[in-house]
Amino acid sequence: MVGSPVSTAHDPLLASKTALVQAAVRSIPDFPKPGILFRDITPVLADRVAFAAAADLHVAAAAALGEPLDVVLGIESRGFLFGATLATRLGLGFVPARKPGKLPGRVHEEHYGLEYGEATLQVHDDGLAPGSRVLIVDDLLATGGTAGAAMRLVERSRATTVGCLFLIELDDLGGRQRLGDVPVSTILHY
């Protein structure tokens, strides 16, 4: 298993921010279908202190990569919220990975499987400069299908994925293992 959760063992401030964010996540049973326990991050976003703590934890996770970064790629739609915030905090550009029909220019496109069906992601074909070092950000790592598609879009753009960062990881679904050797950081584990 490459990468790790954000390390809070030796930093009480990060540990308290992690606890604050985790307390704000709401669990909703049987959504979007029976048998699923949905982890709802909207209370994190609605609470200015929890949202700021989540942003601080994203910055710490990006710094822990120890790699230079050129751009943050955020996956639609909640990855936009955390990715754009992180890009602003790090002084980097932000590139959105979107669902089909949302980007006006020419695009690179990847189809992939989800736990509930199939989907497609797109980026502008000139959105990532060749050779750029990209951090992929999304709210949730489940099976790894969406993040894997984003990584293929980065590769197709002749850029390099230096890491993937998620607010939440559903450990039992094994998404981390499907992302290969790319460092994966997550803030909360369920």
Give the DSSP per-residue string, 33-60.
Answer: STT-EEEE-HHHHHSHHHHHHHHHHHHH
Beta bridge pairs of residue 163:
135
- Cα–Cα distance measured from residue 157 to residue 11, given in angstroms and rounded to the nearest whole number: 37
Residues annotated as catalytic (active site), given as ranges? 78, 115
| CA angle centred on 160, ends 141 and 114, rounded to 5° | 30
* Cα–Cα distance for residue pair 180/88, rounded to 1 Å: 28
